[in-house]
Amino acid sequence: MPRPARYVRPVAYAALKLRLVKTPGLSAAAPALLAAQRWAGRRLTASPFITILAYHRAADPTAPTEYDEGVVDVTPEAFDRQLEFLDRFCSVISLSDLHAFARDGKKLPPNPVLLTFDDGYKDNHDVVMPLLAKRGQSAVFFVATHYLEARRLFWWDRVNLLLKRSTKERLELAYPEALSLPLRTPAERAASIRAVLRVIKDRFALDLERFLEALAEAADVHLSREDERRRVDDLLMTWDEVRALRKGGMDVASHTSTHRVLQTLPPDRLAEELRTSRATLEDVLGEPVKAISYPVGKPLGRASHIKDAVRDAGYDLGFSNCSGVNHAWSFDPLDARRMPTDADTSDAHFRTVIAVPYLAT
Ligand SMILES: [Zn+2]
């Protein structure tokens, strides 16, 4: 994906820095370059950033799907190359490293990078864990507990399935407001999917079950429980697989219960989402769960009532999504910022944003 022109100079500069660090033969041949390499290396190791990367799925983004294709952030091959790069130049840290830093002021290793995967897709267990384990690295897997427990499709995958399968030319919805959704062309279908997802993400106190039932009715697409369970078994992890992640040295933490945007929930529902998912996970894992990533991930910012609710529910680390860069000196444990990843990201761009995280936001 082409980058805006204003990024070209910093990108070129960062690429030059990384090239100097990565090419020992070059520096051995030229003392000036050796000095430059040392300088670049020092700059790189004295990173003022705590880089937290947000992924969802590692899969083939070109494979046709009835579900949401937007959650495939990386191919397994590109992820493997990213891990190789992190192994050489950064320190992949764990949740306990970050806890020790945030709670006890313990120093983090040079160039700390925390890898996180949201939601609970099956490829996290089948594809991601083996790639991490190969290099002795780990990641945090945040799971939306209700869907794994009840074997239901995530709401965004359900919306995609309903609207991609519908043979209607237009859907008319009355709840929570009048909504007309054209489905005649692929572009209209894509826009209508976005419009439905926007309602779920933005509408305060939405009755999600009611809305999804009305959508299925309007689309005239009906999924039997048996069919849904079979689909979920292909798409999401089981609790046994979640336990296997933990046994394999990975961290597992909460992504709420039903994956609602916290800012859209009344106080009682908010407390329930936070507590239920933590209790379920502690039951599954047999250990305390103290970290959560916020669905859809708007930064909490000044939403102090949400921070209070997160703290009251027993969490001491909270991650927002795609919200930017953490500076080590101003790290907010309940609003840790994460950088997005994207299936279009080239290896060169990935390396550049690790060196200069501002370029990812
Ligand atoms: Zn999510």
Asked whether residue 228 is assigned to any structural domain, the reply reads no
Domain that holds residue 258: 47-61+74-150+235-360
pLDDT, tens digit, 9 for 90 and up, residues 74-108: 999 999 999 999 999 999 999 999 999 999 999 99
Ligand 1: centre distance to CA 168 (Å): 29
How far does the centroid of ligand 1 lie from the alpha carbon of residue 295, in Å? 5
Question: Is 82 in the same domain as 202?
Answer: no
Shared domain for 211 and 248, answered yes or no, is: no
Q: How far is the CA of 50 from the centre of ligand 1 (A)?
A: 21
pLDDT in tens, 155-172: 999 999 999 999 999 999
How would residue 125 be classed by pLDDT, with cut points 50, 70 and 90? very high
Residue 109 CA to ligand 1 center (angstroms) comes to 28
End position of a domain, from candidates 185, 201, 222: 222
Confidence at residue 21, expressed as pLDDT on a 0 to 100 scale:
42
Same domain, 80 and 189: no
Q: Express as a percent the part of the chain with pLDDT over 90.
A: 78
- Residues 196 and 243 grouped into a single domain: no
**Other beta carbons less than 10 A from residue 47's beta carbon:** 19
Give the per-residue pLDDT at 325.
Answer: 87
Q: Is 226 helix (H, G, I), strand (E, B) or coil?
A: helix
Average pLDDT over residues 123-142: 98
Q: What percent of the chain has pLDDT over 70?
A: 86
Report the separation in Å between the CA atom of 293 and the middle of ligand 1, taken as the mean of its atom positions. Answer: 8
Mean pLDDT for the chain overall: 88
321 Cα–ligand 1 center, Å: 9
Global pTM value: 0.87
Q: How far is the CA of 45 from the centre of ligand 1 (A)?
A: 31
Q: Is residue 181 part of a domain?
A: yes
Residue ending a domain, among 222, 244, 276, is 222
Residue 237 in contact with residue 144, Cβ under 8 Å? no
Among the candidates 168, 191, 222, a domain finishes at: 222
Dist. CA 282 → ligand 1 center (Å): 19
The residue whose two tokens read 């009906």 is 222
Q: Given pLDDT bands bounded at 50, 70 and 90, which one contains residue 359?
A: confident
My answer on whether 96 and 207 are in the same domain is no
Cα separation, 4 vs 106, whole angstroms: 38
Per-residue model confidence (pLDDT) at position 361: 60
Q: Based on the domain organization, do 211 and 246 belong to the same domain? A: no
The verdict on residue 41 lying in a domain is no
Confidence of residue 18 (pLDDT cuts 50, 70, 90): very low
pLDDT digits (tens, 9 = 90+) for 256-280: 999 999 999 999 999 999 999 999 9
**CA distance linking residue 226 with residue 297, whole number of Å:** 32
In this prediction, residue 48 has a pLDDT band, given cuts at 50, 70 and 90, of: confident
CATH number assigned to the domain comprising residue 305: 3.20.20.370
* pLDDT tens, residue by residue, 302-352: 778 999 999 999 999 999 987 788 998 899 999 999 998 999 999 999 998
pLDDT at site 174:
97
pLDDT digits (tens, 9 = 90+) for 212-252: 999 999 999 999 999 999 999 999 999 999 999 999 999 99
CB-CB neighbours of 78 under 10 Å: 18
pLDDT at 45 over 60: no
What's the pLDDT at 32?
A: 39
CA distance from start to end of the chain: 15
Closest to 98 (Cα-Cα) out of 247, 253, 300: 253
Claim to verify: residue 210 and residue 259 sit in the same structural domain: no
Same domain, 317 and 264: yes
CA of 155 to the centre of ligand 1 (A): 10
- The reply to whether 252 and 146 lie within a common domain is yes
How many structural domains comprise the chain?
Answer: 2
Same domain, residue pair 332 and 350: yes
The band of 44, judged by pLDDT with boundaries at 50, 70 and 90, is low
Q: Note whether 190 and 316 are same-domain residues.
A: no
Residue 46 Cα to ligand 1 midpoint, Å, equals: 32
**How many Å lie between the centroid of ligand 1 and the Cα of residue 133?**
23
Statement to judge: residues 164 and 215 lie in one domain: yes
Ligand 1 center to 10 CA (angstroms): 31
Residue 5: both structure tokens together: 């022109």
13 pLDDT higher than 90 = no
Secondary structure (DSSP) of 116-177: EEEE-BHHIIIIIHHHHHHTT---EEEE-HHHHHHT---HHHHHHHHHHH---SEEEE-SSS
**Domain-embedded: residue 139:** yes
- Structural domain includes residue 279: yes
